[in-house]
Amino acid sequence: MEQLQDKSLVKQSSYIDGQWQQGNGAIDIINPANDDCIAQVANAGIEQAEQAIAAAKQAFPAWAKKSAGERAQLMRKWFDLMMSHQQDLGRILTLEQGKPLAEAKGEIAYGASFIEWFAEEGKRIYGDVIPSPAADKRIMVLKQPIGVVAAITPWNFPNAMIARKAAAALAAGCTFVVRPATQTPLSALAMAELADRAGIPAGVFNVVVGDDAKGIGKVLTQHPDVAKFTFTGSTQTGKALIEQCATTVKKVSMELGGNAPFIVFDDADIDAAVQGAIASKYRNAGQTCVCTNRIFVQQSVVEEFTAKYVEQVGKLKVGNGLDEGVDIGPLITQEALSGVTKLVEDSVAQGAKVVLGGRTLDMGKNFYAPTVMTGVKNTMPIAESEIFGPVSPIISFTDENEVIAMANDTDVGLAAYFYSRDIGRIWRVAEGLEYGMVGINEGLISNAAAPFGGVKQSGNGREGSKYGLDDYLEIKYLCLGGLDK
């Protein structure tokens, strides 16, 4: 923290109605790389969550009334401030979350890109005039901001998961209350500080930091003044929150867990597939919802792929994310580490083989070695669960239909990837995969222009792209009658 150029980006309490508000007691923010307490943040609760909703409700009419261009100017300032503080924001993110600094700075740019994108996209919220079946009537459609939006976000992208939601909400004319994950509130509060400096009016963007996830979650999902609830996190928590939202029939969008297949066909460029798999697997130490979870390799190339993959994965450097040249940081907590360890051990007990890694590292409490496993079956725990760690299970297959069936044999459907150079196969496989996003000869697919989201139990709604505003808008139909003289 001492090395930050702008230390006033580190805030220690919730941001509600344009004010930094205290709570009851404090939450220790722990650096997962070395267990140091890097800051303390006041612990807000139900009362503060209610205040934030009240502030957002009060701010809504004036914010909604602004022209899209006026909102865009303020959002553009917010974007500029995030980019001019990219180094500090990245450092804060690494300190609380653990990912390597270069990756953390990448997340800041990625998060900011949604603010830039939606500031512009807000100017293109078009209505419609529909040909009427009756001569004396006219049919028109308006799109209007839905109202107060509440959000809950996870620790794995402490900046971008908030930016992706808040940018669309604010551009649509909604006001916003977010509760960030308990482990990583500093990035959220730094965003609030910059929103404040950008001149975003009080009550439009609120951050409530508190460790009572259930209590605050109930307020955000059940409060009658919240019109829309948006969540990114695990499928299990998402299901409970959808149920809670039913009590007031809120519009809901969910970005939940994944179990991404990464398929390598025998006609693929194997070297490119190795690079793509590493990029999509080991980012954020394997702790992303779109991380490759199962690598399927066609029998005839499995030996070549595995040898090249193991060689490259073996070169990845693990360490404190602030150290030069580090590719993989710690896992977020010791529970996360135990979870990964158990998945590997249970799968080894069922016959899988560890060919690289497969152990914790003695450099702090939360480090796990980049791992590659072979002889894995699609029914083993390491293939059936969302790993959220730096482990690559390799499963061999014989033909296209078999691998599509194996890839789809899961309740979730967020991202999938495959490598092939056969154009017919590319279409068949892309259409056959039951996933919201498919990377074809590409391991990194997210950006502000593209619709991010899943099918099946990976959730509903899309973030980013021209579709991302839909979740924050209501369609209003106007029927103008009595036109005949």
Q: Do 416 and 407 meet the contact criterion of CB atoms below 8 Å apart?
A: yes
Among 414, 416, 433, 438, binds ligand NAP (CB under 6 A): 414
Q: Indicate the residue among 60 and 157 with the shorter CB distance to ligand NAP.
A: 157
Q: Do 226 and 196 meet the contact criterion of CB atoms below 8 Å apart?
A: no
Shortest distance (Å) from residue 422 CB to ligand NAP = 30
Site for ligand NAP in 189-248 (CB under 6 A): 211, 213-214, 217, 232-234, 237, 240
Burial (CB count within 10 angstroms: exposed 0-12, middle 13-18, buried 19+), residue 480: exposed
Catalytic residue list contains 255: yes
Binding status of residue 306 toward ligand NAP by CB under 6 A: no
Q: Indicate the residue among 155 and 419 with the shorter CB distance to ligand NAP.
A: 155
Of 273, 361, 288, residue with least CA distance to 318: 361
Among 185, 258, 364, 461, binds ligand NAP (CB under 6 A): 258
Q: Do 392 and 372 meet the contact criterion of CB atoms below 8 Å apart?
A: yes
Q: Indicate the residue among 159 and 183 with the shorter CB distance to ligand NAP.
A: 183
H or E segment to which residue 391 belongs: strand 391-397
Q: How far apart are CA 477 and CA 139, in angstroms?
A: 7
Q: How far apart are CA 358 and CA 414, in angstroms?
A: 26
Catalytic-labelled residue, pool 174, 193, 245, 289 = 289
Binding status of residue 29 toward ligand NAP by CB under 6 A: no
Q: Indicate the residue among 73 and 341 with the shorter CB distance to ligand NAP.
A: 341
Catalytic residue list contains 289: yes
Shortest distance (Å) from residue 338 CB to ligand NAP = 14
Q: How far apart are CA 455 and CA 458, in angstroms?
A: 5
Binding status of residue 98 toward ligand NAP by CB under 6 A: no
Write phi, then psi, for 178 (nearest 5 degrees): -120, 140
Among 50, 88, 116, 255, binds ligand NAP (CB under 6 A): 255
Stretch near ligand NAP under the rule CB under 6 A, chosen from 11-19, 50-58, 147-155, 245-253: 147-155
427 to 25, 48, 93, 418, 438: CA distances (angstroms):
56, 51, 39, 11, 11
Shortest distance (Å) from residue 385 CB to ligand NAP = 10
Catalytic-labelled residue, pool 50, 103, 255, 386 = 255
Q: How far apart are CA 163 and CA 468, in angstroms?
A: 12
Shortest distance (Å) from residue 449 CB to ligand NAP = 16
Q: How far apart are CA 212 and CA 220, in angstroms?
A: 12
List the structure tokens of 241. 């929150």
Shortest distance (Å) from residue 416 CB to ligand NAP = 13
Binding status of residue 415 toward ligand NAP by CB under 6 A: no
Q: Between 101-121 and 160-172, two packed helices, what is the crossing angle to 10 degrees?
A: 10
Q: How far is CA 367 from the centre of its chain?
A: 22
Binding mask of the shown chain, residues 156 to 195, with x at each position contacting ligand NAP by CB under 6 A: xx---x-------------------xxx------------
Q: How far apart are CA 277 and CA 260, in angstroms?
A: 11
Q: Indicate the residue among 278 and 289 with the shorter CB distance to ligand NAP.
A: 289
Q: Do 395 and 294 meet the contact criterion of CB atoms below 8 Å apart?
A: yes
Residues that bind ligand NAP (CB under 6 A): 152-157, 161, 181-183, 211, 213-214, 217, 232-234, 237, 240, 255-258, 289, 386, 414, 454, 459
Q: Which residues are marked as active site? A: 255, 289
